[in-house]
Amino acid sequence: MKNQILLVGAGPMATEYAKVLEAQNLEYSVVGNTKEGAASFELEMKKEVVIGGLNKWMEQNSKTEVNKYKVIVVVNENLLGSVTCDLLNFGFKEILVEKPGGLNFSDIEKVNQLAKDNKANVYIGYNRRFFASTLKALELIKLDGGVTSFNFEFTEWGHVIKDLVKNEGVLEEWFIQNSSHVIDLAFFIGGMPTEMKSFVGGGSTWHPKGTVFSGAGITAENALFTYNANWESAGRWWTEFLTKENRYIMKPMEKIFVQKRGSIQVDEFEINDEFDRLFKPGLYKQVEAFIQFEDKLMKIEEQVKMIPFYSQMCKRKV
């Protein structure tokens, strides 16, 4: 049976997903809350949105039909967890929810428990796992025999973010809502942490859990890592991975630069990033992975396993 996709949400990110779904010739329908909120989607995609929100859609459809659908959740950040829980309670078994899977740690844990109770699969949409640069880095690192150490920075531009208009609670959770993009990618390529020491400084009215971050640790594969971020200063997102042969620098993260052992020269590694240029970077391969049950997708239970480390990194007790 050909997959049918239920796209829950009709904002800008839903439009990006719709472009990919159409390029992959996948059948899909879209659910949005209001006609005004769906206007831009309908104008650009020339596709009607079912108005009235998920509750109305569920009223009009039978639970016996859910098995023919895979669901992609692209609602506002504060609603990610509650909408996913509604879908699980209705009986959906295959759900891809935009990162990080909920508003906060508690939200994510609720989704995980409900998915477990309902024997459902919930995946987190960390699209940077599917950048052309990421996929190529994984190949190159494997050829080198694996990562021996890695470093990453997740500096946010605090002077810009503090003025963003977001729903209540989103800015206060900016570490998990946004910075986790970088952190997830670093550990996805470098290996999952087993031990870590963290230091947190600063803090602001919009993010009281810290604005200056530093730490180090070791992974399950015995690779050492360090990280830092300073939301009160200058900086950008980046990661780098060291093997016995090369240093692979992803700065920006859409590209790979290589420094060979014994050389100070750094060269850009040419990659085929056609899909990342045609669509929102990483999204084409992420949707493909969701359809094909590919293991590069993060499962909700894996996100929950990261919560103690995230909590340590941002002054949050579990």
Residue 1 has pLDDT above 80, yes or no: no
Domains assigned to the chain? 4-125 (3.40.50.720), 129-271+300-313 (3.30.360.10)
* Residue 85, pLDDT above cutoff 90: yes
Neighbours of 87 (CB within 10 A): 28
Percent of the chain with pLDDT over 70: 98
Check residue 2 and give its pLDDT. Answer: 60
For the segment 196-216, the average pLDDT, to the nearest whole number, is: 95
Model pLDDT for residues 147-190, shown as the tens digit of each residue: 999 999 999 999 999 999 999 999 999 999 999 999 999 999 99
What pLDDT is attached to residue 316? 59
User: Is the per-residue pLDDT at 94 higher than 50?
Assistant: yes
Task: Classify burial at 25, counting beta carbons within 10 Å of its beta carbon; exposed 0-12, middle 13-18, buried 19 or more.
Answer: exposed
- In tens, the pLDDT along 220-253 reads 999 999 999 999 999 999 999 999 999 999 999 9
Residue 56 pLDDT more than 80? Answer: yes
Q: Is the pLDDT of residue 64 over 60?
A: yes
Phi/psi of residue 150, each to 5°? -155, 160
- Contact indicator for 7, 18 with CB cutoff of 8 Å: yes
| Residues 6+ positions from 104 with CB-CB distance below 8 Å | 169, 173, 176
- pLDDT of 293 reads 84
- Token code pair at residue 235: 């900086």
Taking alpha carbons only, the member of 47, 50, 42, 41 closest to residue 26 is 47
Contact partners, residue 227, CB within 8 Å, separation at least 6: 151, 152, 153, 154, 183, 186, 213, 214, 215, 216, 313
What mean pLDDT comes out for the span 5-25? 97
In the predicted model, is pLDDT for residue 318 greater than 50?
no
Query: Which of 55-59, 247-251, 297-301 is the least confident region?
Result: 55-59
Confidence of residue 38 (pLDDT cuts 50, 70, 90): very high
Query: Residue 159 corresponds to which amino acid?
Result: H
- pLDDT of 101-115, one tens digit each? 999 999 999 999 999
Q: Quick check: 317 pLDDT over 70?
A: no
Rounded Cα distance, 156 and 228, in Å: 11
As a whole-number percent, the residues of the chain with pLDDT over 90 amount to 92
